Amino acid sequence: MPGGAPAGGWTMYPPLVLQTGDAFPYLIFAIHFMGASSIAGAINIIATVFNMRAPGMTLMKLPLFVWTWIITAFLLIASIPVLAGAVTMLLTDKFFGTAFFSAAGGGDPVMFQHIFWFFGHPEVYILILPAFGIVSAIIPTFARKPLFGYGSMVYATGAIAFLSFIVWAHHMFTVGMPLAGELFFMYTTVLIAVPTGVKIFNWIATMWRGSMTFETPMLFALAFVVLFTIGGFSGLMLGVTPVDFQYHDTYFVVAHFHYVLVTGAVFALMAGAYFWLPKWTGHMYNETLGKWHFWLSTISVNVLFFPQHFLGLAGMPRRIPDYAVQFSDFNMVSSIGGFVYGASQILFVVVVVKCARGGEKATDEVWEGAQGLEWTLPSPPPFHSFTEAPDPSSITGGNR
């Protein structure tokens, strides 16, 4: 094949990806380039938080959003070099005659899967941990209560990060691992649900008997908690080895993955955008349009992805260009949900553009009871914020 896109999915499994033509070295270069930028960004975050905190800002007073970014940064530094090593081995297999992943040359294609998923599973938490931090900032604000169990949230985040490095082969239950390996990765996968459950419990406890209001950021945060939990439950199902033999590489996995990363990470990003948009722009967004965006997105995203659970349980494989006729009805429902969900994001663009261009002036605090140093600054913040180091003792973190 002289040209064309990489001959493989995002996981780049050999031997298929080695059939890529001229695009192959560009693929490897792009991954190295993105990896270097990720590591540089992670070092920047760690150095900034550890060395440039305001006086009195101890680690256990940091906003949970900052904690999730510190831990995410360490995950990046630990996992990106592993991916870099894997793709470099692919490069030498392609151009320098090595046989790391070639069975004909004494290599093992499954070894690539082990190396890739040692990066790939921490990567999932690299995507979701900052979302946890955003939700942990929004829910206390609109519940008008301090975050319940701040310390346990910090330790749970650290536990998730540690466990993310010892669960990677639950992506590989069908490759023929020894029984002891399958049991180990099944138990560790189920174990990682415990610190995640702590977080969900603490968010619910924060809302319990709070003076809650339901502006758009809170609506997206609530949807995150409910729908991410659904994705977590389906993840537990996938983590049980014998039943994963049935679920593996079906649309059930597609449904699980998207409940975690669309109704999880993407919904948290939308919640954060609405939460901080007035502070960034100095103007309040249109609340009516924001709620229309929320309801259209939430309803359509469930129409899009929920039927895929049933498709997977019925045996529809993923990564195929076509499907059997018995799957057509649910696929049609899913397609309708997908088009509506995609179209509803136009509303989000409209909200952001209208807010940036003008509107009702935002106050400095924006949201009543919002905690964090940014809410003590004017909206929008000046280019030079603090002439003297601020005193964070009464307004930040969980111990206030």
Report the distance separating Cα 100 and Cα 346, nearest Å.
46
**Do residues 228 and 160 share a domain?**
no
**Do residues 247 and 115 share a domain?**
no
**Do residues 192 and 80 share a domain?**
yes
Predicted confidence at residue 1, as pLDDT, reads 46
CATH number of the domain within which 129 lies = 1.20.210.10
Report the distance separating Cα 133 and Cα 129, nearest Å.
6
Could you write out the DSSP letters of every residue in 206-261?
HHTT------HHHHHHHHHHHHHHHHHHHHHHHTSHHHHHHHTTBHHHHHHHHHHI
**Do residues 1 and 137 share a domain?**
yes
**Do residues 279 and 325 share a domain?**
yes
Cα separations in angstroms, 399 against 267, 342, 369, 391, 393:
27, 41, 15, 14, 9
Predicted confidence at residue 390, as pLDDT, reads 85
Burial status of residue 293 (CB atoms within 10 A of its CB: 0-12, 13-18, 19 or more): buried
| Distance, CA of 255 to chain centre | 15
Among 245, 172, 264, which Cα is nearest to 237's?
245
**310 lies in a domain?**
yes
Whether residue 205 contacts residue 149, with contact meaning beta carbons closer than 8 Å, is answered with yes
- Structural domain harbouring 239: 214-362
Predicted confidence at residue 2, as pLDDT, reads 54
Q: Is 12 left (phi over 0), alpha (psi -120 to 50) or beta?
A: left
- Identify the DSSP state of 358: -
**Do residues 236 and 192 share a domain?**
no
Q: Which residue has the tokens 């003076």?
A: 211
Give the three-class secondary structure for 283: strand
**376 lies in a domain?**
no
**Do residues 274 and 190 share a domain?**
no
Tokens linked to 191: 């174990």
Predicted confidence at residue 146, as pLDDT, reads 93
Report the distance separating Cα 318 and Cα 325, nearest Å.
15
Whether residue 105 contacts residue 147, with contact meaning beta carbons closer than 8 Å, is answered with no
Residue 149 phi/psi, 5-degree rounding, is 65, 50
Report the distance separating Cα 126 and Cα 109, nearest Å.
26
Q: Which residue has the tokens 């550890």?
A: 50
| Distance, CA of 342 to chain centre | 19
Report the distance separating Cα 317 and Cα 254, nearest Å.
10
**Do residues 218 and 334 share a domain?**
yes
**Do residues 59 and 199 share a domain?**
yes
**244 lies in a domain?**
yes
- pTM surpassing 0.85? yes
Identity of residue 73: A
Report the 10 Å Cβ neighbour count for 127: 15
Q: Which residue has the tokens 């969980």?
A: 398
Q: Which of 181, 203, 225 is the last residue of a domain?
A: 203
Predicted confidence at residue 71, as pLDDT, reads 97
Cβ-proximal residues to 199 (8 Å cutoff; 6+ apart), any chain: 132, 136, 153, 156, 157
**254 lies in a domain?**
yes
Report the distance separating Cα 146 and Cα 123, nearest Å.
30
Residue 361 phi/psi, 5-degree rounding, is -70, 130
Number of domains in the chain: 2
**297 lies in a domain?**
yes
Q: Which of 170, 203, 236 is the last residue of a domain?
A: 203
**What residues in the chain have per-residue pLDDT under 70?**
1-3, 394-400
